[in-house]
Amino acid sequence: MAYAYLFKYIIIGDTGVGKSCLLLQFTDKRFQPVHDLTIGVEFGARMITIDGKQIKLQIWDTAGQESFRSITRSYYRGAAGALLVYDITRRDTFNHLTTWLEDARQHSNSNMVIMLIGNKRTQSAFPWTGIICIYSHKLTSLSAIFENVDLESRREVKKEEGEAFAREHGLIFMETSAKTASNVEEAFINTAKEIYEKIQEGVFDINNEANGIKIGPQHAATNATHAGNQGGQQAGGGCC
Amino acid sequence: MFAHLETAVLITIIRIQITTTPTNSSCQPVGGYVPFAVLNPSHIASLNLYRDPEPHLTDEETERQTGDVLIMSDKDDIETPLLTEAAPILEDGNCEPAKNSEFVDQGAKPESKSEPVVSTRKRPETKPSSDLETSKVLPIQDNVSKDVPQTRWGYWGSWGKSILSSASATVATVGQGISNVIEKAETSLGIPSPSEISTEVKCVAGETNAKENENFSPVAGAFGVFSTISTAVQSTGKSVISGGLDALEFIGKKTMDVIAEGDPGFKRTKGLMNRNATLSQVLREAKEKEEIWNSNEVTMETEKKTHYGLLFDEFQGLSHLEALEMLSRESEIKVKSILNSLSGEELETLKVELEQLKEAFSLAEFCEEEEEEKKGDEDFTKDITELFSQLHVSSKPEKLARARNTAHEWIRKSLTKPLAENEEGEKQLEAENTEQVNKNSIEDIHAFAIRSLAELTACSIELFHKTAALVLHGRKQEVTAVERSQTLSQMTIVLCKELSSLSKEFTTCLTTAGVKEMADVLNPLITAVFLEASNSASYIQDAFQLLLPVLEISLIENKIESHRHELQGQKPLLEH
């Protein structure tokens, strides 16, 4: 319940790239392929541990629809981290990244950590792969292969392209799957690590709430044991 | 019971006026108001604890006490990001809670000693753990407070923290101790060399304290508080320079405001309405306080369940409120810039229309007076759904209705069971039920009541937020902004009524279940439920007020849009 820091995140990106799914997977560890369009913004929160410290992530999952743009911009303010999501099976969502990035940079603080996420969309062209999963765990790996084959065949944006874009704009990059939960944890946690490092380096003024960081009520910092890195493993990136 | 409640609320408000602490090291100029939410949920439960031993202030008394103080003009709210932890002053090792930043003169008494241990919730004040940090933050004040014998002020300080992070840090200044007052005043007035001044004041304050405390009874209560304040004004005022007065004046103004309003208890008071700028901060503060407490104390699960602030946050009420505030603020800026760009007739007509909107937004309070017709169970859901459809936004209040129905269902069950218990014949038939009844202790009922109130409030605020988003999003409008605001205003009333009737039902449950309980066990729980309901209603009304700028900008944009249409319509005609 008590946390050392609270980070505010925003999730942005085109509509339908799986922003809400990512959030749900991260906060509730479940996947819900069908859900309502996000109106304005929805919220999620979860506690993570970094460097032995409890950190609460307060996540603002914004609406991706173009018509909500002017509204969602209002929500950017005071975010410490942003997850910029595109769909690796839809090139247009990748092409729009620049606009999103400009928006984010313009409406939030300059130190905001941005994680670029290539999410993979979920519908499978092989409906029976799911059935196999249910009936036989042994076949799971098989179905995973099918799915990957399926995915790769529909992939429109190469991982290298995402990496290049991230490098060019100074972002962190990962490919995730909200469905299989692959790299989802890591995406959120690595962003938090980056923010945490920036705090340690003194880049963030934690006393300024406009930075999206709040010190927890507990000030746990003083006596926190360095329990090492419990915050999930460093993930290489590719999930496919 | 009701009279009790009102007194409690009045006193609370007065106290809050006095003890608020600035959270923010950067000390903003203050907005004129303390949000009504200063009735911090986390404290309400313990209200009754404070009330009794102290003489109640009458209006004249308060007036007299504050008479020394000038009325201060409101400044524009300036939103500054706040760091809540920064402000409090502490004495090292004194077991004194960080947030007990006191008026220095008063000194502070460790709460652990003076606080009765009854309430439904305990507050974190007694935790020494935060002391270290805070004393680091404001070392100057440390010295000051060391000079000071401790009095009942210890109580008061705890209220300060709840309000403090609000941008209305003006008020805040007051509770913080003289050196802080000065620092702040100095900041806002541009008086140079803060450290010099505060050192000076420190000395002055120290002397004053030394003298004063000799004849200052530790049990001075509310009276003591006021008299010390005025003494403080007298004795330190001179040295504090006009800057310090600024802040002190503010106490006076606030106190007067409160008295003038004279309408505590359940009904919202007019004057308190416009101060929603920092509502979410206030609430966040409340929640944090509870978090502190939770983190510091090994608490029972059940006790955790009754923390309104935490529950409210859990239901994402805080986030929605914050988001709503953002939309509101943004809209307000837009409205202002548009108004600035207009002139002449155009401006006048627009102003008239905006005035109509404002009227719709002030309706809510008046109508609220004339309630009291008991409504059936189905009506709420129907009303709300209907009102929502009138709004012509695509959001639906199902979540709210569900939350509300769950609460009512629970109450019904809980009420019918004890009855069965009384009827001997049915007792055996209902054996299973009665077993359950016994499990529903008054603590359970209380916990559920608080939870329901928090959930309902969170859902209501979510609805308002979604409405704001959709109103801003909507391109074409089937309904005018004025119509929408009327509907929203009615909705606010319906919601507040619902909260009120819900709290009544919960207290009925409590009284039914607690017949055998001692009054001093039961009453605090009942009071807590009523007060939490009252707070909930305030939050909802404040959230409603946040919608005003949103509807204003919607009205303006709609006007521009239709104007453009007219022009487009005219052009072809002209061309022909």
Q: Please tell me which of the candidates A39, A71, A218 has its beta carbon nearest to residue B395.
A: A39
Quote the number of domains for chain A. 1
Find, in chain B, the residue whose alpha carbon is nearest to that of A213. Answer: B83
What's the mean pLDDT in B346-369?
77
Answer yes or no: is pLDDT of B569 > 80: no
Quick one: pLDDT at residue B88?
41
> What's the pLDDT tens digit per position in B293-343?
665 554 455 455 678 988 999 899 999 999 999 999 999 999 999 999 988
CA distances (Å), origin B281, targets B84, B158, B439: 10, 17, 37
Nearest to B81 among A74, A210, A217 (CB): A210
In a domain, A40, yes or no: yes
Minimum Cα–Cα distance from B319: chain A residue: A43
Question: From the candidates B298, B301, B319, which should be mutated to test the interface with A, based on the most A CB atoms within 10 A?
Answer: B319
Strand bridging mode A81-87 / A213-215 = unpaired
Q: Is A226 contained in some domain?
A: no
Distance from CA of A210 to the nearest CA of B (A): 6
Please tell me which of the candidates A2, A40, A216 has its beta carbon nearest to residue B466: A40
pLDDT of residue B147: 43
> Residue A46's closest CA among A31, A66, A68, A24?
A24
Alpha-carbon distances of A25 from A33, A88, A180, B198, B399, rounded to whole Å: 11, 18, 9, 53, 22
Mutate to test the interface with B, among A67, A75, A108, A109 (most CBs of B within 10 A): A75
pLDDT band at B253 (very low <50, low <70, confident <90, very high): low
Higher pLDDT, residue A155 or B566:
A155
Q: Which residues of B touch A68 (CB under 8 A)?
A: 469, 473
SS3 call for A58? strand
Residue A146 lies in a domain: no
Closest CB to B470 among A39, A60, A219: A39
The count of CB pairs under 8 A between chains A and B is: 82
Residues of chain A in contact with residue B326, where contact means CB-CB under 8 angstroms, are 74-75, 77
Chain A contacts of B82, Cβ < 8 Å? Answer: 209
Nearest CA of chain B to the CA of A42: how many Å?
8
| Average pLDDT over every residue of B546-572 | 81
Q: Which of A43, A58, A217 sits opposite B295 (nearest CB)?
A: A217
**Is it the case that residue B100 has pLDDT exceeding 90?**
no
* Cα–Cα distances in angstroms (integers) from residue A219 to residues A4, A193, A230, B132, B417, in the given order: 6, 18, 19, 10, 46
C-alpha closest to that of B56 among B115, B117, B15, B104: B15
Please report the pLDDT score of residue B548 as a whole number. 93
Question: Computed from CA positions of residues A190, A195, A197, A200, in that sequence, does the dihedral angle turn out positive or negative?
Answer: negative
| Residue among A40, A70, A208 whose CB faces B465 most closely | A40
Q: pTM for this structure?
A: 0.60
User: Domain for residue A129, yes or no?
Assistant: no
Contact between chains at B291 and A2 (C-beta distance less than 8 A)? yes
Short-list B381, B414, B375, B374, CA closest to B508: B414
Residue-wise pLDDT tens digits, B135-188: 444 444 444 444 444 444 434 444 433 333 433 333 333 434 444 444 444 444
The whole-number pLDDT of residue A158 equals: 93
Residue type, B371: E
pLDDT band of residue B487 (cuts 50, 70, 90) is confident
Q: Cβ–Cβ of A2/B465 closer than 8 Å?
A: no
Q: Which of A207, A208, A211, A222 to mutate to test the interface with B (most CBs of B within 10 A)?
A: A207
The pLDDT of residue B484 is above 80: yes
Amino acid at B529: V
Q: Judge contact between A26 and A184, C-beta under 8 A.
A: yes
Whole-number percent of chain B with pLDDT over 70 = 39
Query: Model confidence over B26-38: pLDDT tens digits?
Result: 434 443 333 333 3
**pLDDT < 70 regions, chain A:** 1, 121-151, 218-240
A41:B85 CB<8 A: no
Residues B423-445 have a mean pLDDT of 56
A161: domain CATH number is 3.40.50.300
pLDDT at site A6 = 92
Residue B21 clears pLDDT 90, i.e. is over it: no
What pLDDT does B6 receive? 44
User: Are B469 and A40 inside 8 Å of each other by CB?
Assistant: yes
Residue A120 inside a domain? The answer is yes
Q: What is the mean pLDDT of residues B202-228?
A: 45
**Minimum Cα–Cα distance from A205: chain B residue:** B83
**CA distance to partner chain A, nearest, from residue B394 (Å):** 9
Written as six digits, the tokens of B394 are 């695509």
Q: Which domain holds residue A70?
A: 5-124+155-219
Q: What is the pLDDT of residue B404?
A: 86
Predicted pLDDT of residue B476: 63
Q: Which of A9, A23, A41, A70 has the most B C-beta neighbours within 10 Å, making it the best mutation to test the interface with B?
A: A41
Residue A57 lies in a domain: yes
Question: What's the pLDDT score for residue A196?
Answer: 93
A228 occurs within a structural domain: no
Mutant choice from B310, B388, B459, B473 vs A, greatest count of A C-beta within 10 A: B473
Mean confidence (pLDDT) of chain B: 61
User: CB–CB of A218 and B86 under 8 A?
Assistant: no
Instruction: Measure the CA–CA gap between B239 and B231, rounded to whole angstroms.
Output: 13
How far is it between the farthest Cα atoms of chain B?
Answer: 93
Closest Cα in chain B, distance from residue A1 (Å): 7
Among B80, B83, B399, B476, the residue to mutate for chain A (most A Cβ within 10 A): B83
The reply to whether ipTM tops 0.85 is no
Share of chain B above pLDDT 90, in %: 11
Partner residue facing B83 (CB), from A68, A70, A209: A209
Q: Is the Cβ pair A222, B132 closer than 8 Å?
A: yes
- What are the residues whose beta carbons fall under 8 Å from the beta carbon of A13, sequence distance 6 or more? A19, A64, A83, A84, A85, A86, A93, A96, A97, A100, A117
Nearest residue of chain B to residue A36 (CA atoms): B395
Coil, helix or strand at residue B133: helix
User: Inter-chain contact A217–B291, Cβ cutoff 8 Å?
Assistant: yes
By C-alpha distance, the chain A residue nearest B323 is: A75
**Chain B residue with Cα closest to A222:** B133
Highest mean pLDDT among B8-12, B207-211, B362-366: B362-366
Note whether A68 contacts B295, CB cutoff 8 Å: no
Residue B242 has pLDDT above 50, yes or no: no
Residue found under tokens 């790769």: A152
Cβ <8 Å between A209 and B326 = no
